[in-house]
Amino acid sequence: MRKKLLICFFLIVGLLLRAGTSKAGTVGVIITRGSAFYEEIHSELAKNIARKDGNVKFIVQRPYPDVVSWSNAARKLIAADVDAIVAYGAAAASAVLRERPGVPVIYAGVYGPAAHQLKGRNLAGVYSPTPIASLLRYLRDTRQFETLGVIYNSLEEDSLSQFDELMVIGRKYGMKVAGINLRRSPDIASILASVRVDALYVTGCATAGAAYPTILNMTEYRKMPMVSLLYDKQKRAPIMLTPDPAEQGAAAADLLLKALRRSSADGLGKVEGRRYLLIYNYRNSTSVGMRMSTGLVTDATEVIY
């Protein structure tokens, strides 16, 4: 009898341990559709996790950049009983926090000021205070202009925060800033065809990411100087500035593993990303009439001739 009881005990413990291991390795992920930056961070995160702990299983949701889609994605992951949620971008992270998931939430790819708005328990993440003024400075260095068009999406907190900051900076530089609120990617062609601006500044929004080929084609056709905070693997923008996705992914992976081990993200805090990619596509910049910027040549992490 005693022997049977012992066998039963070990069986139950074994089952519990097995269930515990598999549960601890299930992570929900929200990558807003259209953002190559978030995709790249996630790819780096997955690589880092695989190197350190092969047991983690990802359930990935790719919602459209709107409030309902983000919420639905968060609800699906909570219903799937995941052990942690990784959300890329402030908007996705906010949507998860609104659903009170009860599991650790790790964010990454968030713009500095937007990260400060993210508050909640069981929350940690990686952010970057991208120096958006520097990109404007480089743009001014390459071409004189009066009106700057800024593509942003008011639904994406990172992008909206960047636009707000550009409005303030633009005023200080004495230029007109025209906001182009791109809520739906397919609207880009008609908007750009009608807008009267001298130069274009693309903030880090997924709607612009999905419409990026159109934006590049139209600015080239109209010979309009353009700078971008959007990550683009093909580096097509004349000047591109983004946080380094490899650094973001590695830091987020560290936070995620710690949160999974402790079943909590409390106390892990925010990690500031400090590395950036500043790509100067000289070839494309001259094709839209931008002068060579000597400062940019020396500051850029990569120059494409």
Partner 1 sequence: MRAAMRITAALVLAFSFCNSALAAEKKELLIGLIPEENIFRQIERNMPLAGYICRKTGISIKFTILSRYGDIIDAFVTRDMDGAFFGAFTGYLAHVKLGVVPLVRPVGAEGGTVAQSIIFVRKDSGIRDVRQFRHKSAVFVDKATATGFIYLLCKLRGIGVHNVDGFFREYYFTGNQESSVYSVLDRRADVGVAKSRYFEKLAAKDPLVAEELLVIARSEKLPDTVLCLRKDMDPLIRQKLMDVLVGMKKDPEGQRVLHELGYSGFTASKVSDFDPVAKLSREAGIDIRTYRYTR
Binding site residues, partner 1, CB under 8 A: 129, 131, 133-134, 137, 169, 172-173, 274, 294-295, 297-303
**How far is residue 156 from each of residues 3, 6, 111, 135, 149, measured CA to CA in Å?**
61, 56, 11, 20, 18
CB of 300 to partner 1, least distance (A): 7
Residue whose tokens read 């400090």: 274
State which residue, 137 or 270, has the beta carbon closest to partner 1.
137
CB of 133 to partner 1, least distance (A): 6
**Number of Cβ within a 10 Å radius of residue 108:** 33
CB of 184 to partner 1, least distance (A): 33
- Comparing CA positions, the residue from 64, 57, 66, 70 lying closest to residue 28 is 57
CB of 250 to partner 1, least distance (A): 17
State which residue, 27 or 300, has the beta carbon closest to partner 1.
300
Q: Per this entry, what is the length of the chain?
A: 305
How many whole angstroms separate alpha carbon 242 and alpha carbon 231?
A: 6
How many whole angstroms separate alpha carbon 63 and alpha carbon 179?
A: 25
Is 2 exposed, middle or buried (CB count within 10 Å of its CB: 0-12, 13-18, 19+)? exposed
Instruction: HSE, CB side, 13 Å, CA atoms: give it for residue 1.
Output: 0
- Comparing CA positions, the residue from 42, 21, 23, 20 lying closest to residue 31 is 42
State which residue, 64 or 276, has the beta carbon closest to partner 1.
276
CB of 182 to partner 1, least distance (A): 26
State which residue, 251 or 260, has the beta carbon closest to partner 1.
251
CB of 292 to partner 1, least distance (A): 9
Q: What is the DSSP string of 129-189?
A: ---HHHHHHHHHHH---SEEEEEE-TTSHHHHHHHHHHHHHHHHTT-EEEEEE-SSGGGHH
CB of 295 to partner 1, least distance (A): 6
State which residue, 98 or 274, has the beta carbon closest to partner 1.
274
State which residue, 220 or 299, has the beta carbon closest to partner 1.
299
State which residue, 135 or 288, has the beta carbon closest to partner 1.
135
State which residue, 176 or 274, has the beta carbon closest to partner 1.
274
Positive or negative, the Cα torsion across 152, 62, 42, 89? Answer: positive
